[in-house]
Structure 1
Amino acid sequence: MRTGQAFIEVDKVDPAILKIRQLAAQVGGYITNSSVSGGRDQIRQATLELKIPAPKYDQAVGSLSTIGKVETVNSTAQDVGEEFVDVTARVNNARRLEDRLITLLNTRTGKLDEVLRVERELARVREEIERYEGRLRYLSSRVATSTLTITVHEPAPILGNNPGENPIARALRRAWRNFIALVAGVIASLGVVIPLALVAVGGWVGYRRWRRRQISP
């Protein structure tokens, strides 16, 4: 059971989505989930989840370069063979028990409560068989099908959000605004510091005069 994830850079998302759908059809797969995102100040991207026949997985991965610039591809494999063997053995054991209970029920001539007890046990065993068989069907489908999730995104803008805007000019304007804000902050601070300094100087001068009068005879 193999799963993979790929990230691809493309010029435009919409044509890339069409190529992914074509790739899925070429390898006999199909798309189960898809999402497209992108808005103001965001890079547009799309994610599609493909279900691919297991023998065609490598072919699909090898064809990713036809969609755009492949950035990363990660693949993992999970061995479910041991679980498959274990569940199969449980099904066989449950079926043998089912056969014995059916035989016992058909030949039972005892009390009614004993017959009902056998019927309840038979119902429980059959429920287990259905659960095991469902798990086997699930494992079989997972082994036969691989999952490949493809995310495509457009390139990050080089010149900023506004077309034609020079990033150097934008940086200079930002630096100038920061400088003006700094000067304004200094002036605002001086508006508080200077009056306090004048009060302090006046107090110091008054104190010196008072001291001289105290010292003079």
Structure 2
Amino acid sequence: MNSSFLLYLIPLTLGLCSCSSHLLPSDLAYASAREAGSSPSSKSNPSSRRVLLKSGSMSLEVEDVAAGTRQVTNLVKQGRGQVLTMDSDKNDRGATHLELTIPSDQLEKTMDQIGKLGKITSRRVHTRDVTDQWIDLQAKINNTRALRNRLRELLQASTSVEDTLKVERELARVQAELDTLEGTIKAITNHKAYSKLSVSITKKSIPGPVGFAVKGTWWGVKKLFVIQ
């Protein structure tokens, strides 16, 4: 194989593959529908095609931190979740911090169940839309995979050591890029299926005699201004 021809062909292949990454999401949806043997329906719900990543966090006050922690872990396991980390503070209140992973469709239900174990002091659910990133990654993976396959063909057709080494170097670079892209989309897929939930459990504070006195005084002061 002529070396100058090889050096011309590789940039040309790169250019051809990169141009399709500028396809609009609607073009990609139409192409996917054609491959599946159907056309996109204008009546379909757009939200069903969104790629959403959910996560949550909450803080809870309970009478017994150890018992509350056991109840939370049991609820998580019953909901097909897992405990990733568990850290306990060595102080009088003995707070426990849990990092959990929950099936995304069970996240808010699990948070509701955990909330019944004590007093909720904070609760937050965060949803991140990564649809555009997902579409871009899919296009890049398809393009990079096509380029890798083309380079494999060039490698088989090469007739000189110099050409073989050049194609092998380019093939190794493209394969590494493809592995990174596929790893990223795999991570998004896993996150889409399972949500992370952070739970902090602390012991409910019980005021002493002075605390009760102050609380009673404050209640009386409020009633001077507001009856109900």
TM-score relative to the length of structure 1 = 0.69
Structure 2 unaligned runs (5+)? 1-52, 212-228
Across the aligned residues of Structure 1 and Structure 2, the Cα RMSD in angstroms comes to 1.6
Structure with larger Rg? 1
Counterpart code for 2:107:
Y
Matched, 1:31 2:80: no
Runs of 4+ in 1 over 6 A off after TM superposition: none
Counterpart code for 1:9:
E
Cα deviation 1:97-152 (Å, max 9, x = unaligned): 1121111121222x321221011111111111111111111111011111111111
**Which residue is 2:181 aligned to?**
132
Shift of 1:47: 1.1
Matched, 1:64 2:119: no
Matched residues in 1 for 2:206 and 2:112: separation? 28
Residue aligned with 1:78, SS: strand
Number of equivalenced pairs = 159
Of 146, 149, 157, which aligns to 2:198? 149
Counterpart code for 2:187:
Y
Shift of 1:54: 0.6
**Which residue is 1:112 aligned to?**
161
Cα deviation 1:181-211 (Å, max 9, x = unaligned): xxxxxxxxxxxxxxxxxxxxxxxxxxxxxxx
Superposed, which structure 2 residues align to 1:59-208 within 5 Å?
59-109=109-159, 111-159=160-208, 167=210
Contact in 2 for aligned 1:27/1:59 (Cα 8 Å): no
Matched residues in 2 for 1:86 and 1:8: separation? 40
TM-score relative to the length of structure 2 = 0.66
Residue aligned with 2:93, SS: coil
Matched residues in 1 for 2:95 and 2:54: separation? 25
Counterpart code for 1:150:
V
Identity level (%): 26
**Which residue is 1:22 aligned to?**
74
Cα deviation 1:38-89 (Å, max 9, x = unaligned): 42xx422111111000111121122123311112211111112221211111
Matched residues in 2 for 1:15 and 1:34: separation? 14
Matched residues in 2 for 1:105 and 1:151: separation? 56
Counterpart code for 1:153:
T
Structure 1 unaligned runs (5+)? 160-165, 169-217
Contact in 2 for aligned 1:33/1:48 (Cα 8 Å): yes
Residue aligned with 1:44, SS: coil
Shift of 1:157: 3.8
Counterpart code for 1:53:
P
